[in-house]
Structure 1
Amino acid sequence: MAGDSRLDIQKMAANLAHLYRGEMARADAWRARLDTTTNWALTTTAAVVTLGLGSPEITHTVFLVGMYLVINFLVIEARRYRVWDAYMTRIRLLEIGLYVPLLRNEPFELAQMRELATLLEGPRVLISFWAALGQRVKRAYAAYLGVLLVAWLVKLSVGYRRAEGASGFIAMMHVGLIPGWVVLVLVLAVYVVLGFEMVSKLLAGPPATELIAKPARRRPLSEVFARPAPPSSPSGREPANP
């Protein structure tokens, strides 16, 4: 009986190792999909800014089109992030419930293993669309959309005359038959919603599925201009000259 139980434990450990590798492969595949949309958003932002500010004949509408495209990439990426988060949650449960106690020679965390079994029995996404959207805005898209907004305002200011006042500046935002104030309200509404989601995620802290950034050590001013001496060897002896 003892030999059978030992064999069962070995089989379980091998199966869990295969499960861990499989979950990591799935998470890596969805991580690559996230990187694809992020790269497309970066390429679109660079192309729109270069084209819009480099050609006087191009109107400010190109920046609105760029915002629309980047927001579409953001929506796609938020949906992909939800799936990636589901796989990463299962990986973290397996790491916390099995591998961490194993390395510490402690009893297994049964709560995490039961939760993992529940997720394996009924796979589902664990975060809302808006939560995923806020995470991606915080990580990358705030910079892209911020650059497009600044470039759009710079493009509008090129043909602006101070004598026209604020109403004249807003009127320049028109797109075809759409008045400028309508365009301004739509742009502000989108940025306010995305900004609110980003701030809420900043206040909430990093999710459990992402790495926690190590706080940077405050360097003394003397180390900025003078290189500190290398630490001595553990044996207390000076290292030999090469």
Structure 2
Amino acid sequence: MSEPSEDFDPESREEREVAAEAAGDRSDFLSLMGHAYRGELGRTSSWRTRIDRTTNWAVVVTASLLTWTFSSASRPHYVLLIGLVMLSVFLGIETRRYRTFDVWRSRVRLLEENVFTNALDPEGVEQSNWRALLSEDLREPTIKMPAVEAVSRRLRRVYAPLVSVLVAAWVVRLTVFTAAGNGVVATASVGPIPGALVLALVGGFYVVVIALTVRRAPRRAKGEMQAAEDTEEWE
């Protein structure tokens, strides 16, 4: 191991802020931005993989429960309700991961919009203070996307269809496989919980899911892909 230089003083400002020299050197600065971009892109890819893993589990669980429930007329209907609970748990985990993923994605988009697009087509930058914005975010990283928006987006992209399939399957299970002499309300009961209460809870849950799915609010996600017709609505 090499010995530290006698001229090196870790307490001096020049040594503590050695990277500040890159701010005044265009070549060094652009090289630094390239390394920063690759680092943030790696974090983005890592968190994207975590999100996909949760989504895969949600799809597998849904498919497994549907197959098992309809494999025999004696299967209890409330297994599908357990599936709704499990999907809610997956949605909560994925919402947290999605909000964290947005932190890294926002930095990647900031560099893409203000460095690489300007290099390819030098007609100006999207944010004139992008360096200050990036510096502030690196010094004090913060979650930028509200939890409600994250839930709404994950429902719209993945979980609303899965929930709808389970609810529809549950309704079919209650109506098609109803025992003779029992109504839908009586069949919907789960142990000591009356069927009317179960129906009300499932109905209320599904209404909340639909409300969050169709929710429209000012867009906070940075760099989120969207359909061309929605661009003007969110800007």
1:30 to 35, 47, 50: 47
Identity %: 35
Q: Does 1:150 align with 2:165?
A: no
2:130 to 96, 112, 125: 112
Secondary structure of 1:110's counterpart equals coil
Given residue 122 of structure 2, which amino acid in structure 1 is its aligned partner? N
Q: Does 1:186 align with 2:201?
A: yes
Residue 159 of structure 1 and its aligned partner are, at CA, apart by 3.4
Q: Does 1:83 align with 2:97?
A: no
Residue 7 of structure 1 and its aligned partner are, at CA, apart by 8.2
Aligned to 1:227: none
Aligned to 1:43: 60
Residue 117 of structure 1 and its aligned partner are, at CA, apart by 1.7
Q: Does 1:195 align with 2:195?
A: no
Secondary structure of 1:59's counterpart equals coil
Kept in 2: contact 1:206–1:212 (CA 8 A): no
TM-score (norm 2): 0.80
Aligned to 2:118: 101
Aligned to 1:19: 36
Secondary structure of 2:215's counterpart equals helix
Secondary structure of 1:54's counterpart equals coil
| Distance 1:157-1:83 versus aligned 2 partners, 3 A rule | same
Given residue 147 of structure 1, which amino acid in structure 2 is its aligned partner? V
Residue 114 of structure 1 and its aligned partner are, at CA, apart by 2.0
Aligned to 1:230: none
Aligned to 2:142: 124
Aligned to 1:210: 224
Q: Does 1:140 align with 2:153?
A: no
Aligned to 2:91: 74
| Distance 1:128-1:195 versus aligned 2 partners, 3 A rule | same
Distance in 1 of aligned mates of 2:205 and 2:24? 59
Kept in 2: contact 1:34–1:81 (CA 8 A): yes
| Distance 1:21-1:151 versus aligned 2 partners, 3 A rule | same
Distance in 2 of aligned mates of 1:209 and 1:192? 29
Residue 204 of structure 1 and its aligned partner are, at CA, apart by 5.9
Q: How many residues align?
A: 208
Residue 137 of structure 1 and its aligned partner are, at CA, apart by 0.3
- Give per-residue Cα distances to partners, 1:95-145, cap 9 Å, x unaligned: 112211222124554323322222111101101111101100000111111
| Distance 1:118-1:60 versus aligned 2 partners, 3 A rule | same
Given residue 223 of structure 2, which amino acid in structure 1 is its aligned partner? T
Residue 193 of structure 1 and its aligned partner are, at CA, apart by 1.5
Given residue 120 of structure 1, which amino acid in structure 2 is its aligned partner? L
Given residue 73 of structure 1, which amino acid in structure 2 is its aligned partner? F
Residue 28 of structure 1 and its aligned partner are, at CA, apart by 0.5
Kept in 1: contact 2:145–2:221 (CA 8 A): no
Gaps of 5+ in 1: 216-242
Residue 49 of structure 1 and its aligned partner are, at CA, apart by 0.5
Once the two structures are overlaid, the 10-residue window that deviates more, 26-35 or 176-185, is 176-185
Secondary structure of 2:214's counterpart equals helix
Please give the root-mean-square deviation of Cα atoms over the aligned residues, in Å: 2.4
Given residue 188 of structure 2, which amino acid in structure 1 is its aligned partner? M
